[in-house]
Structure 1
Amino acid sequence: MCQISSLRELKYTLTNLTSITFTSYPGARDCLKNLSTLSCYSNIYPEFFYHLSKICQTTIHTLRIIFNESISNGLADLISSLQNLRHLKVCLHKYGVDLTDINTLISKFPNSLITLRIYGGIKCYFKAVIPLSFIARFTNLQELVFIFYSNEYYEGFNKLQYVVFPQLRSLNIYMKCPENELLKKFLENNGKNLKEFYVKSNDNSLNLAIVKFCPNLRNLSIRIEDNELEILETILISCQYLESIRIFGYKYYNKKGITEIIMKYSSKIKLFL
């Protein structure tokens, strides 16, 4: 650590070396004083988080937390100390973490977040999932990403649908999707400012909501079936600023027909199938 003058990124996911507090080694403060990106498990020994909270209050702007069995007492200390946190990724795919502890931890995050990514594993291992209504606190969000393999993780989206995020520019929903009616209401409140929207699991009614509420999109990824190609023309007419469009579907597409529709409205739009 004495030989590294300025460490910028640290990925620390070991939890079995609880007696090693390398953050207190000689040279640690100088080594870590400019740390900007941290990836770690939630159950690392408390001293690790405590020492970082004293060294990196203003430097860490990107944090990735993997919830793993339990939450260290020191993690709340670190989160409370971060004054310039901008980007947060939360991974929820391990059992054994108390929901109350997670909710308490979430309340510590500052409203400075501009990017929030939440990952939920293939199976919901928690006895109860985190209500997504907590996201309403982060009114400065510019990018919101959900990567959920189970619909259980969308608990609380029924309240989130009414929240307005005036700075939101990118909404990406991978794998499972919220109920269409909830998502359409969310787009009604936030679609006007969106520049990017990714949703793989949807139906034609959601595509019509995109037409109605998202006129300023630059990049769009949606599902369109072979018998719904007329909606593609409607989207191209409504979303005149599109630069790229990715189309998903269960069947084989008439690629020539889609290409002709795209070319009819703009030769500059990039098409991905």
Structure 2
Amino acid sequence: MEMQAVEAARRWLADQGVRQVRDGWVSDQKPEVLLTANQVAHSWAGDVFAEDLGAAEQVLLAFGLLDLLDEYWVTCEIRFANDGAEGPLPTDALWEGYRRRLEADRDVETVTYSLWVDWFEDHTTSATAFAEVLGNDIDQVVTDRSDVLLRRARRVLECSGPVRWTVKEPTYRTAMQLPALHAAVFRAIRASFHDVYGDLEPAAALALLDRLDLPTDTQHLAELRHVLAAGHKNHYHSPRAWDDAVRSCS
């Protein structure tokens, strides 16, 4: 499916007069100017949503462009289209696009970054986004234990710091049924403390942390326990708390 989406995106760019060459991209308008993937994304990604296609087809084409270019700006255009006058985008197509890429056996930093800063940090969208990419499926993850679902779960957990604690805690608790996800839950709790917009309840987070089966020498485990036991909710609300924990645990 992803390869078909990539080839569709490549054909679409060719129709716009843009093609890939050895060291980058060129356009028919200025064939002597070498373009980066980022420049292509900024110049053409938004045009996908002006195509005479159904909205779901536009979304599929946009995700193909994301696979082809691997540029964060493509995800920005997807979000702009969702929030724009013609939006919202079809829910199934939008979140299926994210889910499939989160399951891919390759680097997906662009996708997880988009989730983190565009969907999870915005509390008008974070609950829906978290549910769509993991919360709704966590029981299936625990039951199936397939590599692709575990891969998606780890990636979502690790960037879920900004999601409201009340939204994500049930998913964290369910994920803890799988030892294979314990390290990811630890990183999720750590991010919930350290992210600028991170959210947690110290006592509840500490209770989860104490149930994780982690190596005793796990980096930052002792410090995280220390700040949570002291009742701190966020690094940026209590900027000296982590330094105090480092000194106490050293």
More strand by share: 1
TM-score by length of structure 1 reads: 0.45
Q: Which has the higher contact order (CA 8 A, sep 6+)?
A: 2
TM-score by length of structure 2 reads: 0.48
Greater Cα radius of gyration, structure 1 or 2: 1
